[in-house]
Amino acid sequence: MPSSDTEIPASRPRVVLLLDGVAACADRADQAGWTDEERARFAGISDPERRAQYLVGHWRVRGLASLVFGGAPADWRWWRSPGEPARLLDTVRNLGCFASISHAADQVACAVSDDVVGVDVEMIRVERELAMLAKRCLAPDEATTVAELEGLPQAVAFYRGWAIREALGKASGTGLVPGTARRMRIVPASPADASLRLWQLPDRVLALAFSPGAKVEAHGAPAGSAEDFGWEFFS
Ligand SMILES: CC(C)(COP(=O)(O)OP(=O)(O)OC[C@H]1O[C@@H](n2cnc3c(N)ncnc32)[C@H](O)[C@@H]1OP(=O)(O)O)[C@@H](O)C(=O)NCCC(=O)NCCS
């Protein structure tokens, strides 16, 4: 739990995203600065691919916080309480930032910000139950579109809506809550007003959720393919 005098900087929101390959980083990754909880979680993961994702994600996100907000990577402590956004706390300088991690296959995405942030990377998989999942977790008009499509176009439509809601769920700290996710309308926005950015690739989707008006810097994300959105609740 952050102490009451731990400060989240009040300057203009800045969001920095880093997309990297797990295998490309695994040899360099270390556990410097890990909390007992992180070590315990890591010890409980037996699948080698998931272990590498966890190791690289928790190492990379500290390196990113160090680059963006200063301090040594090992000074940043990972902190997340159920239902709250994840944070990194620099216990040496008494600073905090918001942080988010996502992995899919060999990809790891990390984001840090001085305001809430959530990131999600999803491989686009053609699966039978996407129309049913869309009905459960996407807005009705998106679910209708998914149901009308087949094959790859259906999977692309589904994972765009899904990744956006996963990113929003991480930014809020709740994860994806179906009843909430169904009531979110995703609308195009200018970069100045956006609170969502989506990168669409042939085999995967990357979504970033942040506070409206934040300045986004993306490293490792494909140049030129970003789309900006906002979101609103409807009843
Ligand atoms: C927990 C959840 C956010 C993980 O997302 P995912 O796409 O499966 O996996 P990702 O690799 O993208 O993200 C995992 C990372 O998210 C972070 N994370 C997990 N829960 C989080 C939460 N509530 N808030 C913020 N970040 C969270 C962790 O850092 C985790 O990585 P780590 O374990 O290596 O530290 C997602 O499964 C979820 O929203 N669950 C809610 C319940 C659910 O299943 N809803 C769907 C019903 S249709």
pLDDT in tens, 49-94: 999 999 999 999 999 999 999 999 999 999 999 999 999 999 899 9
| Alpha carbon distance 156, 122 (integer Å) | 10
Prediction pTM value? 0.94
Give the percent of the chain with pLDDT over 90: 90
- 166 pocket-lining for ligand 1 (C-beta < 6 Å): yes
Is residue 116 within 8 A of residue 171, CB to CB? The reply is: yes
- 186 pocket-lining for ligand 1 (C-beta < 6 Å): no
pLDDT for the residue 4: 44
Residue range 122-207+221-233, CATH number: 3.90.470.20
- Give the domain ranges of the chain: 14-118, 122-207+221-233
* Average pLDDT of the segment spanning 138-163: 98
| Nearest residue by C-alpha to atom 6 in ligand 1 | 102
Helices 151-172/140-148 angle, 10° precision: 150
Q: From the CA of 71, how far away is ligand 1's center (Å)?
A: 27
CA angle (220 as vertex; 217, 221 as ends), nearest 5: 75
Q: From the CA of 166, how far away is ligand 1's center (Å)?
A: 7
Is residue 110 within 8 A of residue 21, CB to CB? The reply is: no
**Whether pLDDT at 131 is above 50:** yes
pLDDT for the residue 7: 54
Find how far residue 35's CA is from the centre of its chain. 21
Q: Which two tokens stand for residue 97?
A: 């930032």
Is 122-207+221-233 in the same CATH topology as 14-118?
Answer: yes
pLDDT for the residue 225: 82
User: Class for domain 14-118, per CATH?
Assistant: alpha beta
| Alpha carbon distance 129, 146 (integer Å) | 11
- 136 pocket-lining for ligand 1 (C-beta < 6 Å): yes
Spatial neighbors of 179 by CB under 8 A, at least 6 apart, are none
